[in-house]
Structure 1
Amino acid sequence: MEAGGPNRKKRKPAAGVETADEAPAPAETEAPDPGVGEEDDGLVDRISSLPDVVLGDIISLLPTDEGARTQILATKWRHLWLSAPLNLDCTHLLHRYRNHADRAAGVVSRILSSHSGPGRRLRVDNLHHFDLGAVDDWLRSGALDNLQELELGCYPTVALLPSFTFRFAPTLRVATLKMCNLPDGIIQGLHFPLLKQLGLHYVSISECSLHSLIASCRALECLLILHSTGFGCLRINSLTLRSIGVDNNNSDYRIPVHFKELIIENAPCLEKLLHLHVGAGLHLSVVSAPQLETIGYLSDGYYQKVNQDYLCKFEFGSTIIQGLRVDKLAMVRTVKTLAVQLRILSLDTVIQLMACFPCLEKLYIRTPKPSNVWRRKHRDLTRCPDIRLKTIVLDSYRGIKSEVNFVTFFVLNARVLELVKLGGCSGNKEFLAEQRRKLQLDKRASKGARIHFTTRSCVRYILDHVRDLDVIDPFLL
């Protein structure tokens, strides 16, 4: 959106937000108000004709300072930001003012005192940069009533959250808590009737309180737990959860209790189960999850030396997978998407996993080494029509012989293959032409199969926010 035209008039600054880093901004300007649908120098302001409620939703999706600046666009926009759902990102403002916490805090206080719209989102990742008394005042502000999204963290040190943090429990839909202690006395008795997405990052919480917290979220759909401690085992019994992501790695060995076991006892709606760290020895058991379609990452240790204590163990009913070795094979037919991390690219390993997950349609592979192990014991598979893979994504592709052989196997034998995506490739035209020839596309089993080369990494292995669990394909960058 353009901020006015060549004949802009001067007006008061946007409430609460300065427009320069070093000093208060000069008076801001506005465009002449052409009215709805009226032409101005050959242009038509069509967006202003949208209903105020729609424009308010658009403004609430902008960063805080940019949302405030929409007041200069036209007369119609002057009141919109002050009445739109408030998106208050204190972390962004702190960076905006070059870590001058006093200036950022002053802006936050002015915004809250002038804003009359409902609270939509509050983010303060770095509470220790601000005066905690001021933060408590912010949390009590009426401008944050009915808050829907909350992201609070005590970075850089783990500490207690402000006392008014949980006054928003009845209205929250998304909550992310970082670098904090959650004592039993605070968690017990809380209820989050509308909460759909919960993220816990570097949180210290007891096993009893963690189970109580999850049970209090009756509408919970996405749960992300990263580097958190204080509990050894997490048992999931939820009628609503659709996605779970965990990273149980924590390098602070002074902490006596570490997350080592995840048991999915009853999760009838669970579709995605993601273990995001491959060397932390998690024991994961799935007792009942009849809709489970997406799993990752399975790994043989990846960069680390193979040590049974650090390999993850997955149990799916009677199927047991230690690292990437299938110790007890029973078919799991619900799984359609699988992500694996391999120290050495091994066709034997992948074929064994395909036997375990016979309905697999998407396969994501990350590997640091190009060696391709295949002992030819699966030669008969080349005559089998039942390779159901439609998509294969291989990261760090260099086009060496072992990788070409690996990909070619599927090109020549996967009869419903639609896409092979190879990431981290050279952009050299001669290289790409040579690879297309070596991969024998003219002999492909699926006539609709395509090869897509990209110079960028194309497999996601880090989730930054619980919202990442809600995407259709969490592994695709």
Structure 2
Amino acid sequence: MVMATRAKKRRLEEEEKQELVDDIISGLPDDVLGDIVTLLPTRDGARTQVLSSRWRHIWRSAPLNLDLQEPLRCTPASDISRVLSAHPGPGRRLHVSYLSHYRFDIDTMTLDGWLRSPAIDGLRELEILLGHYRLRRGLIKPLPLPPSVLRFSSTLAVARFEACVLPDCGATHWPHLKKLTLFSVTVSESSLHALLAGCSAIESLLLRDNRGFSRVKIVSPSLRSIGVSSIRGRDDDPRLQQLVIEDAPCLERLLFFDGLDIGISVISAPRLDILGKLKGVGHMLQFGTTALQITNDGEENASSDKNQEPINIRLRKIVVAYFHFRKLHIEFAKFFVMNASVLESMTLELKHVSVGNNAWIRRQCTLLQVEKRASKGARFHFVSHKGSFGLPRAKQVHEMSKHDPFQKTH
């Protein structure tokens, strides 16, 4: 009897504590409660209306976070339209993704209706992901985005598009856009450059496996991180072949993903300190007027202006993948050994051999002429393919807080 009384007393005390916590939260100002609700998943945010009369109006007054992921993946399009019609706006985030088990197909007209809804006026984050893997397999065609997507240009801070066709951006200005991802997107070269020119505050850019342009020129006073990759397209379907960093005073990292090799020309990027993964073969690299290329047919081409001063590459970290200890690969790596004056670390991922003992490592350092390196404090790491550094993840292009974008995989 005594034990039962004590258990009941403890339960009542815990309930009183929970009620006190609930009262404290409910006592917060409406704008604070709205900030909490707008960060919740869509379904959870809507459910706060049934907590009490105090919460009933909060969801409708908080900026809408409409995230069409689980558990909304099986929600009919008409239900999503009803959510939009029930909320007066403004909007904070709209995430639309397509997986094979959706019960509805998204078409341009349906998407246009959602994008025109007052419920998402003032949108800050927009993600339209329509299945790049399905596009690669030929299961779908890229969905043309309606021009209404451009109505958020003055408010968006984050934009991510996948497996779609971008409308002509013209001279649209995107003053608050900081993170931009284009993945398996079709866009013309002129429209892409117009889009980038309008992003006056952009900090990170991911261009992955896109179509419709073969050359990208970067001129940005704010861009800090770039990630790129390219895939083979049809003869009449241009793919990215050349990236020119013409003027990027804040650029810190340039990351590459799997795919075809891209020519890179760095004209002005004084703060660039992380570069990789380079394959060592196929990439054409140009810093200023000095160029280095090792082609897939086994030829090395290096050229420079004989009248220029010695080149000073200010990279801090370099990763070279699929490295062979052949003359061509060694000369490719030595280019950075001799010219990267503030280099802290260089990692060479070995494709066909395992890392040897200390004597083996000393022999490789001799081949690379490490004793003549431009940066006396640089460290050199040899890793086997099995214990290699993984290719950078897409999120590491945008998450600049991460010091090292190369993650070890096992």
Q: 1:281 to 1:460 in 2, by over 3 A?
A: closer
Give the SS at the match of 1:143.
Answer: helix
TM-score, scaled relative to structure 2: 0.74
Aligned residue number for residue 463 of structure 1: 394
Aligned to 1:292: 272
The runs of 5 or more residues in structure 1 that have no matched partner are 1-33, 98-102, 302-310, 398-423, 425-456
Find out whether 1:361 has 2:335 as its counterpart.
no
Q: Which amino acid aligns with 1:168?
A: F
Task: Confirm whether residue 151 of structure 1 aligns to residue 127 of structure 2.
Answer: yes
Contact 2:179 2:398 in 1 (8 A): yes
Q: Measured at CA, do residues 90 and 323 of structure 1 come closer, stay the same or move farther in structure 2, by a change above 3 Å?
A: farther
CA-CA distance at 1:272 after TM superposition: 1.4
1:269 partnered with 2:250: yes
CA RMSD after TM alignment? 3.7
* 1:223 CA drift (Å): 1.5
TM-score (norm 1): 0.65
Amino acid at match of 1:475: F
CA distance in 2 between partners of 1:463 and 1:295 (Å): 15
Unaligned runs of 5+ in 2: 1-11, 132-139, 305-309
Provide the secondary structure at the position in 1 that maps to 2:243.
strand
Alpha carbons 1:344, 1:371 under 8 Å: kept: no
Retained in 1: the 8 A contact 2:279–2:321? yes
Q: How does 1:35-46 map to 2 (within 5 A)?
A: 40-43=15-18, 44-45=20-21
The reply to whether residue 126 of structure 1 matches residue 98 of structure 2 is yes
TM-aligned CA deviation for residue 115 of structure 1: 2.1
The amino acid that maps onto 2:173 is H
Is the 8 Å Cα contact of residues 295 and 337 (structure 1) preserved in structure 2?
yes
After TM superposition, the structure 1 stretch with the greater mean CA deviation from structure 2, 81-90 or 195-204, is: 81-90
User: Does structure 1 retain, via aligned residues, the 8 Å contact 2:233–2:239?
Assistant: no
Higher mean C-alpha displacement, 388-397 vs 125-134: 388-397
TM-fit CA distance, 1:275? 2.2
Q: 1:220 to 1:58 in 2, by over 3 A?
A: same
Question: What letter is aligned with 2:157?
Answer: R
Separation (CA, whole Å) in 2 of partners of 1:113 and 1:202: 31
Counterpart of 1:320 in structure 2 is 291
- Tell me how far 1:69 sits from its aligned partner: 3.5
Deviation at 1:393?
Answer: 9.3
Is 2:211–2:233's contact at 8 Å kept on the other side of the alignment? Answer: no
Query: Is the aligned partner of 1:473 residue 2:404?
Result: yes
Whether the 8 Å contact between 1:245 and 1:469 is mirrored in structure 2 is no
Output the CA distance in 2 between the equivalents of 1:357 and 1:295: 11
Which residue of 174, 185, 201 corresponds with 1:219? 201
- State the match for 1:171 in structure 2: 155
User: 1:257 maps to what in 2?
Assistant: 238
What residue identity is the alignment partner of 1:104? P
Q: Please give the alpha-carbon distance, in whole angstroms, between the structure 2 residues aligned to 1:383 and 1:282.
A: 29
Of residues 36, 41, 45, the one that matches 1:67 is: 45
Q: Note the C-alpha offset of 1:70.
A: 4.0
1:191 aligns with 2:193: no
- The offset of 1:214, in angstroms, is 0.8
Report what 1:340 is aligned to. Answer: 320
- Deviation of the 1:312 alpha carbon: 0.9
CA deviation profile, 1:31-54 (whole Å, cap 9, x unmatched): xxx9xxx97344451555554434
Match of 2:227 in 1: 245
Deviations 1:362-404 (A, max 9, x none): 445555544347683744857999653579695755xxxxxxx
Secondary structure class of the residue paired with 2:260: coil
Is the 1:243–1:470 Cα contact (8 Å) retained in structure 2? no
What does residue 165 of structure 2 align with? Answer: 181
Instruction: Give, in whole Å, the separation in 2 of the partners of 1:117 and 1:39.
Output: 38
1 CA distance for matches of 2:152 and 2:257?
30
Instruction: Call closer, same or farther: CA 1:108–1:286 in 2, change over 3 Å.
Output: same
Alignment match, 1:421: none
- Please report how far the alpha carbon of residue 106 of structure 1 lies from its aligned counterpart in structure 2 after TM superposition: 3.2
Instruction: Sort the Cα spacing of 1:158 and 1:70 in 2 relative to 1 into closer, same or farther, 3 A.
Output: same
Distance in 2, Cα, partners of 1:336 & 1:386: 10
Partner residue, 2:190: 208
From 142, 148, 167, the counterpart of 2:118:
142
Question: Between Structure 1 and Structure 2, how many residues are aligned?
Answer: 364
* Maintained 8 Å contact 1:326/1:353: no
Give the drift of 1:257.
2.0
- The 8 Å contact of residues 125 and 152 in structure 1, kept in 2 or not, is answered as yes
